[in-house]
Amino acid sequence: MTIERVAIVGLGLIGGSVGLAVQQMLPGMTTTGWDADADVRQRAAGRRLVGEVCDTVAEAVRGADLVILCVPVGAMGYAAEAIAPHLEPGTIVSDVGSSKRSVGDALAVALPDAIVIPAHPVAGTENSGPDAGFPELFRHRWCIVTPGKNTPPDAVDALTRFWEGLGATVEIMDAEHHDLVLAVTSHIPHLIAYTIVGTASDLEDVTRGEVIKYSAGGFRDFTRIAASNPTMWRDVFLSNRDAVLEVLGRFTEDLSRLQRAIRNGDGDTLFDLFDKTRTIRRSIIEEGQDDARPDFGRGDH
Ligand SMILES: NC(=O)c1ccc[n+]([C@@H]2O[C@H](COP(=O)([O-])OP(=O)(O)OC[C@H]3O[C@@H](n4cnc5c(N)ncnc54)[C@H](O)[C@@H]3O)[C@@H](O)[C@H]2O)c1
Ligand SMILES: O=C(O)C(=O)C[C@]1(C(=O)O)C=C[C@@H](O)C=C1
C-alpha cells in the first residue's frame, strides 16, 4: 500500500505542521488541505501549509490515499461525517487526537467503509492556529498508533512509514492503554498547570500583583502549559473522562497524604518522596531520555 496523496482536515498547529513536514521530508507526496474556518484557510494558503488549500472538504479529500483529521477531539466525529461521502474505497483515515478510544469509536461509526487507524503524535506546543506549525515538530518524537484488531496490516505499515518519514518513532498500542498512559503523562499535568495558574491568579487580590511579578522558574513553566488551547483541552478532558478521573483519584489521594505530612510536621514522608522523585528524574537523564524523545541525547536534533 503506497501513500501518494495526503489530505489534511484542520490546518492549525498540528495539521499545518504535518503539511509543512510532508512537503519538506516526503516531497514525492501531494498535499491538500481544508479547514472549517475561512480565515484559517486563507492564512494556510499564505503560509503554504499544504500544496493546495481547497475551498471545500470534498475537493480536499478527493482521490486521497490518506486523510488525516487534525481538528479538536470533540470535532472528530463531525469532520469524519463531512468527509465520508467523498472518499474512495480503501482510503486510510487517521487523526492526531490527544485521546484515542472515543475518537476511534466516533470515526468507526462515521466511516464504516474506510480503513480507520487512529494515531497520536506526542508532540506539540502551547500555541495553536495556522501560524503555529513548523515542519520539525515530529522529529525525535513518538507517534502512538492504535489500530483495531481487524485493521489490514499493510495499511498500518503504510501509516507507520508515513510518520517515520516525518521523523517520528511509531509505537503501536491499544487505545485504552494509550488513554491511561497519556492521562498520567500529559492530561493530568495540564490540569495541574491550569489549576495552579488559576489559583495564583485568584490570589492576586491578596498578593497585589506579586505572584506574576516574582514568578520565575517553576511557576513560569506552569504558565506556558496553562496557555495551551482551551478548546483542545476542554475536549481532551471530556473525551478521556474515565482515565483522567481514575488518575486524578490517585493524585488527590497522594496530595492529601502530603497535606497531612505538612500539617503533622512529618518531614520524613516529605523527604522520602522528594528523594524518590529526584532519583526518577536523574535516571531519565542518565538514560539519555530527557524530554521523552526517542533517541534524544543520542542523535542529531
Ligand atoms: N496542540 C498540541 O500540543 C497537540 C499535540 C498532539 C495532538 N494534538 C491534537 O491535535 C488536534 C488539533 O490540535 P491543534 O493544536 O492543531 O489545534 P488548532 O486549534 O491549532 O487547530 C485545529 C483546527 O481545526 C479546525 N476545525 C475545527 N473543527 C473543524 C471541523 N469540523 N472541520 C474542519 N476543521 C475544523 C479549526 O478551525 C482549527 O484551525 C487535536 O485533536 C489535539 O488534541 C494537539
Ligand atoms: O509541549 C507541550 O506544550 C505539550 O503540551 C505537548 C503535549 C504533551 O502533553 O506532551 C500536549 C498534548 C499532546 O496531545 C501531545 C503533546
Domain total for the chain? 2
Q: Is the CB of 124 under 6 A from ligand 1?
A: yes
Same domain, 126 and 181: no
Q: Are 239 and 103 in contact (CB under 8 A)?
A: yes
Report the distance separating Cα 177 and Cα 104, nearest Å: 13
If asked whether residues 25 and 54 sit together in one domain, one would say yes
> Which residue, 30, 116, 107, 25, is CA-closest to 71?
107
- Both 245 and 157 in a single domain? no
Do residues 152 and 260 both lie within one domain? Answer: no
Is 274 within 8 Å of 267 (Cβ atoms)?
no
11 lines ligand 1 (CB under 6 A): yes
Q: How confident is the model at residue 299 (pLDDT cuts 50, 70, 90)?
A: very low
Assess whether the C-beta atom of 68 lies below 6 angstroms from ligand 1: no
Residue 291 has pLDDT above 90, yes or no: no
pLDDT of residue 277: 94
- 14 and 134 share a domain? yes
- Residue 90 alpha carbon to ligand 2 centre in Å: 31
**Ligand lying nearest the CA atom of residue 39:** 1
CA 167 to CA 231: how far, in whole Å?
28
pLDDT tens readout for residues 93-108: 999 999 999 999 999 9
72 lines ligand 1 (CB under 6 A): yes
Instruction: Determine, yes or no, domain membership for 270.
Output: no
Q: Cell numbers at residue 17, please?
A: 505542521
pLDDT band for 192, please (50, 70, 90 cuts): very high
End-to-end CA distance of the chain: 30
| Cβ 98 under 6 angstroms from ligand 1 | yes
- Report the candidate in 111, 183, 123, 174 with the shortest Cα–Cα distance to residue 145: 174
21 with 123, same domain: the answer is: yes
- Helices and strands, counts by H and E, the chain: 14, 9
Whether the pLDDT of residue 255 is over 70: the answer is yes
Same domain for 155 and 13, yes or no, is yes
Quickly list DSSP for 235-300.
HHHHHTHHHHHHHHHHHHHHHHHHHHHHHTT-HHHHHHHHHHHHHHHHHHHHTT-GGG-TTTTTS-
pLDDT of residue 281: 83
> In the predicted model, what is the mean pLDDT of the chain?
93
Q: How confident is the model at residue 300 (pLDDT cuts 50, 70, 90)?
A: very low
Identify the domain containing residue 228 by its residue range: 177-265
* In-domain check, residue 260: yes
Pocket test for ligand 2, best of 122, 126, 223, 236 (most atoms within 8 A of CB): 122
ipTM of the complex: 0.99
Residues 27 and 157 in one domain: yes
Answer yes or no: do 157 and 14 share one domain. yes
pLDDT tens per residue across span 65-100: 999 999 999 999 999 999 999 999 899 999 999 999
267: CA distance to ligand 2 center in Å? 34
User: What is the average pLDDT across 34-62?
Assistant: 98
Question: Are 43 and 133 in a shared domain?
Answer: yes
Q: Are both 204 and 82 inside the same structural domain?
A: no
- pLDDT, tens digit (0-9, with 9 covering 90-100), for 237-249: 999 999 999 999 9
133 alpha carbon, distance to own chain's centre: 13
